[in-house]
Every structure is written in C-alpha cells, then in structure tokens.
Structure 1
Amino acid sequence: MKPVNSVNVERFAPQVVEDFLTGLPNLKIISIEREVLDFSRWRADIKVKAQFAGKPLNLVIEVKASGQPQMVRSAAQHLQRYMQNVHENDVPVVMAPYLSPQARAVCREENVGYLDYFGNALIASDGLYIERSVPGRPEPERRSLRSMYKPKAARILRCLLHHPGRHWRISDLAEAANVSAGLASNVGARIREFGWAELTDDGLVLVSPDDLLDSWAENYEPPKGEEYHCYTPYHGRQFTDRLRAAAGHGQVVLASFSAAEWLAPFVRHPNNYVYADELGFVSLTNAISLKPVSKGGNIVVVIPEEDGVLDDAIQISEGLRATSAVQTYLDLTNSGDRGKEGAQFLRSKLMDWQK
C-alpha cells in the first residue's frame, strides 16, 4: 500500500475501486464516475454502475481521508439518509485509505458497505455478498497507534479503563495520571476520534472500553527497562513470606502470571515475574537470595524506565502488591498461547464493563 495523503485520497480512490471490482468474477463494470451531482444536489464522491451475474449493481461511495471510526460513522449515516430519500436500490459504501476493525464494525452497525486501499471490503446487495479481511495494518497506522500507547500516554488510558463510567475534567485526568494537561487533552482527543470516548458537559467519558483495550493489546509493547533472569531457592509460601519482607524498601510488584495467580488464577506457571524499581530490586535480591543466571532461572525481574506500571499497582495482600488488572491483562496477552488464555479468563472475571 502506497502512502496516501489527504489531498490525493479522492484522486486515487476510483482506481482502487476499479482494481477491486475487476477482480470479482461475474462482475462487469459499466462506468465509474467522480463527483456526481444528482437532482437532489447531493454530491456522490464516486458512483459505479455495474452488472453482477447480469443484474444491475450500483454503488454510491463516500470517500474519507481518514478511517477514524467517528468520521466513518458520520459518513455512513450521511449515506443512509441519502439512500432513504433518493435511491433505495443503490448500495452505500464508505471508503478510506485504511479502515480498522473498529471502523468496519461501525459500517456493519450502520448497514453500509466499506472498502479501503489495504484490501478490506464488504459489499452486499441482492444476490451478492463479498467480504474480505486483510491481516495486519499499514505501517503508518501501526506507528500512529503505538504512539498512543507510549508510557506517558498509557498512564491516562489506565485511569480511563479503571473508571470507565467516570466523567473527567482534563485537569483532573492529568492530575490523576501524573501527566501534563496538554498530553491528557491530546490523548482524549485521539480516543474520541476512534469513537472510544465522548466529550460531554460533565467531561471526557470512556464509552467503548473493550475496543480501547483490544486495540492496546494488539499494539502492546512491554515496558522497556533492565531485565534480569535470576534464580531463587524460595517458592510457594516461603517465596511469598520473603517477598513481604522486602515491602517498604522500594517498589516490588508481582506481574504477568504471578499477578494473575492472585487476581484471577487460571494458568499455573513455573516462573515468577516482578516489576521493581532499583531500591526494590536490591531489597528483593536480599530477601529471596536472587542470583543472575544465563539459563535455568525461575524469576524474571524488570526495572522499567517509566514508573507507570509501578504507580498503577494494587495491594493484593498485606505487604504484597501486583500490577492492576489492565496491566496484567496486557502482559499476559504478550506471553504466548497460555498467557492469552489466562488473559481472557482474567478479563471475564475482572473487566465486565457493564457492572
């Protein structure tokens, strides 16, 4: 997929449409017109006249420079109003350079088709149903999403996911997340573009926590920092008791499978996983006799560069802390098939957003 800027989106769109339709069996293109103005003074970005298996097939296409769900919903509703008032037999289609799974879901909800430059498509009419899903995302889209999940921005997302029904003033959200008001405002605007949050008179409120969490998990990058693979002779109750002994001397937080054993036990794992700050690592080393090893270790300790995962931790027992449900879920999804199973179980137990 070639990079497409907003100026060239509509110029490239007819060729994308033609290439897509040409590849369909039993379909004959009669004409593809741009910027068609009909008698109702409504301008269609692209109108396609075609035949499928000998029957007329007409597409009315609204082209958007961005596939953000919020813009896609607006375009879909615009198309639906037009179809109800003018041409009920035409097939409405939203088109953009890239349509995320969330944007495609919006099209389905609004009962319109879709097509993007990446090859994702849904065209449905009498006797015709075409659906295509292309794995992956364009690299510019992936970079854009990943920037939204960088450590500082992630602080904001954790606050929102921990309180999905709360209405936040930007200043309050920034203070709770320990970030600047400017960053909180920018992240809020970004997730509103995706349709995951709304701005009301009472403030910013998360309305689609599942979609936000799904996107974050898909683009998740574990916290960067020093990672130590070690061996400890302690396990079970002895490990837990000695871990409590390290409490109060720096930050020591159970993570991944180790956190899940306390939050929502499902998958047993032979290794322990811990986030710690530098002082906590020293305390932990003394408390459980840590020894760095090249192989045969049974505990992984990460000292993250940014303290978000530590500040977000919760107390699970006296003297014991673990990563929050959101952070534990993200780490588990990044830990192979068994981790993903554990993540889904934890999500079913602790992330029922309707409660």
Structure 2
Amino acid sequence: MKIPFPAEESDPSLQQAEEALRDVLAHVPALRVEGINDVSAPDKWLPDLTIRVRFNDQPHLLICVLKPSGQPRYARGALLELRRHVARHPPDATPVFIAPYISPAVRQMCSAEHASYLDLQGNTRIAFGGVFIERIVADKPQAEQRELKSLFRPKSAQVLRAMLREPDRAWRVSDLADISGVSLGHVSNVRNGLLDREWARTSNDGLVLRAPAALLDAWRDSYSAPAGELLRFYTPLHGSALEDAARAALRAPDAAGHAAFASFSAAQWLAPYGRTGTHYFFADDDGLRALQAALKLAPVLKGENVNILLPKDPALLADTIEPAPGAICTSPVQTYLDLSIAGERGAEAADHLRQEKLPWSR
C-alpha cells in the first residue's frame, strides 16, 4: 500500500498571498500600493500576482509566482518562471517567490538569483529601490516538520541507509525496494522527498544522491534515539577480556540471534576517539541472551556499565559492519547518528567518525 508523505497544511491561495504581501508592505510608511492583479486561471506566460507600488513618488512593480511547496525543486522552477516574467517587464520590476514555507537553503537560493521571497509563516525578504524588508521566523511549520520526520522514519530510513552505503550509485526504484526490503510505493515516496529537496537527482541509470552530506545533516538534526527497550547491566569483565568475550558471542557460528556493538562501543572499532566506562549494544532477544551469558551480565537499576537496546526496528541489526573478526558494529551512518545525540563527548566522537569513515559527507 502506498503511504504518501504528509502534504502541506493547505495550498496557499492568491488571496492569502495578497493579504500577506499587503501586511508586509504596510510596514513601510512611504510606500503605497496602487493596484493588484492576479491570474485566477493558470497561464504559463503570466505571473500569478503583480502588485504596482509607489515609493517616494517612484513607481515599481512586484512580480510574484506562487507555489504550493517551497521545497528546492519547486523553488528552482519558480525562479526560472520569475526570470522569464521579469524579462518581459521594465527594469523597475522585482521578482517575488511565495510559498507556504521557505527554508533557509531556499532563501539563500532566492538571494543568489536576486529574487525577493515571502512565505506564509512570516519569513520575508523584499528589496527594491530604497525599500528593504526582512524578517526571519525561527520555527518551522508543523507540516514541514512532519514531512521531514516521515523521510527518516524506520521504513524510509532503510532506503536511505542503503543509498548512503553506496552514495555514488545510481538506483532503480525496484533495486532499492529489493535491497531495503520495503515496498515500491514507499521507495517512490522517499525518491520524491529526496528530489523535492534536491538531495538527489535522476539520471539515465536511476536515482543518484547529489547532496548526501546535506541529507545526513538533516537526518542528524531530526534524529532521536531508536524506539525499543533499554536494559542496564553490570559486568565484572573489563578491557580486552570484555571485548574478546563480546566478539566471541557476536560471531558464534551457531548464534540464533543478532547483536552488535553500538554508539561509543561501535566507534571504538570504526574510528577510536575516546573510551567511556559504559559499553553499548543493540540486540534482539536471542542476541541478548548470548551477551548475558558471555559477559556475565547482572541487571542493575544504577551503576551499570553495559547498556543493551532491544530496538523495535529489526533493520538496525541488519545494517552492520565487521571491521575485525567478531567485532560486529552498527554501520558508520547509524553509529554517527547515535553518537550525535550522546551529549558533548558524543558529538565530538561523531564529528571524528564522520571525518574518518564518511568522506563523502565532509
């Protein structure tokens, strides 16, 4: 079943755009709105909205294009439209891109194209002649936050992890569905989300990541600890004795379950930065039992030196790497994400791992 990403709260209307523009322009005492024209029916040769204004007795024209989304793919198309519309008018015309929400990256895109912008959240930059209006709103709208979180939920994350393991590969939707174990419809939704944000592009061979570092940044900023049961234990083993026992349990040929070093413990094998007194693992039920026996674990309420997460998402235990025999670790991407939310020391270890093991993300 196809599960679409959440849409915008509602597509913006020309009336909303007009009211928002009027409100912004009203803050300039010497500026007067002389007339507004809108195009009720779509016409590729006409802008959606034009506003004639006068500032200090000088006439000016604001040429506006309104889009239902402010994502980079839509913004780039709008800026091309605006460039064409402005070319058909006198030099006293200013292009204005309008959308429900315009992200900081798209605001920079507008500035680079010498275009003004306005969104219905209150972010605004309108500049012409002696007029300069700028306002930045810190919060993202709920619809934008929900849509971004949808892109990083477990099923979607399976697709992203597959792509980030081979960031230069061109992917067919069917290949991504096979390797990630999710439906074709869900892969298509992820594809559209990546294309809308220009984190990926299409080629003759399939879908290719064009900005994997930006994708990883957004994932990190939205990331929270995986859902699951966190168990705390004490082990009398330390140092190499603990590591050897854990590796023997993880690589046992008759092991029925799955377990892996995680967080700081995985980073020690992938890109050592600094040791901690606590060891971290992901495991399923059988993997937990193997670790309990091998490490002589005793459950405790405090004073633990081993944390084991039983994740609800089994895909986390499939996304692993083995840098040394038996040292089964969460992947560099997963380890990076987990470290990024582990406090100041974790953030430092995450940055080090990113430099060492994720060169495409620098």
TM exceeds 0.5?
yes
CA-to-partner distance for each residue in 1:73-132, whole Å, 9 max, x for gaps? 100121123324434342212111112234334324433222211122233445555543
Could you tell me how far 1:58 is from its partner in structure 2? Answer: 4.1
- In 2: Cα distance, 1:314 partner to 1:51 partner: 64
**TM-aligned CA distance change 1:34 to 1:263, over 3 Å:** farther
- In 1: Cα distance, 2:57 partner to 2:134 partner: 21
Equivalent residue number for residue 299 of structure 1: 306
Equivalent residue of 2:169, what SS? coil
- In 2: Cα distance, 1:315 partner to 1:41 partner: 55
- In 2: Cα distance, 1:176 partner to 1:96 partner: 36
Counterpart selection for 2:354 from 342, 347, 354: 347
Could you tell me how far 1:32 is from its partner in structure 2? Answer: 5.6
Q: Which moved more, 1:216-225 or 1:300-309?
A: 216-225
Contact 1:32 1:46 in 2 (8 A): no
Residue 328 of structure 1 pairs with residue 328 of structure 2: no
Counterpart selection for 2:51 from 26, 43, 48: 48
CA-to-partner distance for each residue in 1:295-314, whole Å, 9 max, x for gaps? 22222211111222111111
Equivalent residue number for residue 101 of structure 1: 104
Equivalent residue number for residue 310 of structure 1: 317
Give the structure-1-normalised TM-score: 0.88
Counterpart selection for 2:231 from 223, 228, 233: 228
- In 2: Cα distance, 1:294 partner to 1:56 partner: 73
**TM-aligned CA distance change 1:216 to 1:267, over 3 Å:** same
**TM-aligned CA distance change 1:111 to 1:289, over 3 Å:** farther
Equivalent residue number for residue 68 of structure 1: 71
Count of matched residue positions in the alignment of Structure 1 and Structure 2: 349
Residue 15 of structure 1 pairs with residue 19 of structure 2: yes
- In 1: Cα distance, 2:345 partner to 2:71 partner: 33
Contact 1:34 1:44 in 2 (8 A): no
- In 2: Cα distance, 1:316 partner to 1:36 partner: 61
Aligned residue runs from structure 1 range 82-97, under 5 A? 82-97=85-100
Q: What amino acid does structure 1 have at the position aligned with 2:314?
A: D
Residue 286 of structure 1 pairs with residue 309 of structure 2: no
Could you tell me how far 1:36 is from its partner in structure 2? Answer: 6.3
**TM-aligned CA distance change 1:49 to 1:349, over 3 Å:** farther
- In 2: Cα distance, 1:163 partner to 1:81 partner: 39
Unaligned runs of 5+ in 2: 1-7
Equivalent residue number for residue 184 of structure 2: 181
- Percent identity over the alignment is 39
C-alpha RMSD of matched pairs (Å):
2.6
Contact 1:35 1:43 in 2 (8 A): no
**TM-aligned CA distance change 1:225 to 1:68, over 3 Å:** same
CA-to-partner distance for each residue in 1:3-59, whole Å, 9 max, x for gaps? 8522x5322111122223334x5652424614169xx99423233344667766643
Counterpart selection for 2:170 from 161, 167, 170: 167
Equivalent residue of 1:317, what SS? coil
Could you tell me how far 1:246 is from its partner in structure 2? Answer: 0.9
- In 1: Cα distance, 2:35 partner to 2:321 partner: 59
- In 1: Cα distance, 2:35 partner to 2:218 partner: 35
Aligned residue runs from structure 1 range 194-205, under 5 A? 194-205=197-208
Unaligned runs of 5+ in 1: none
Q: What amino acid does structure 2 have at the position aligned with 1:290?
A: L
**TM-aligned CA distance change 1:262 to 1:108, over 3 Å:** farther
**TM-aligned CA distance change 1:245 to 1:5, over 3 Å:** same
**TM-aligned CA distance change 1:289 to 1:171, over 3 Å:** same
Q: What amino acid does structure 2 have at the position aligned with 1:329?
A: Y
**TM-aligned CA distance change 1:354 to 1:337, over 3 Å:** closer
Residue 217 of structure 1 pairs with residue 224 of structure 2: no
**TM-aligned CA distance change 1:129 to 1:270, over 3 Å:** farther
- In 1: Cα distance, 2:65 partner to 2:59 partner: 20
Equivalent residue of 2:84, what SS? helix
Contact 2:34 2:54 in 1 (8 A): no
Q: Which moved more, 1:267-276 or 1:72-81?
A: 267-276
- In 1: Cα distance, 2:318 partner to 2:293 partner: 23
- In 2: Cα distance, 1:336 partner to 1:54 partner: 57
Q: What amino acid does structure 2 have at the position aligned with 1:115?
A: L
Could you tell me how far 1:149 is from its partner in structure 2? Answer: 1.4
Equivalent residue number for residue 5 of structure 2: none
Equivalent residue number for residue 36 of structure 2: 33
- In 1: Cα distance, 2:134 partner to 2:185 partner: 41
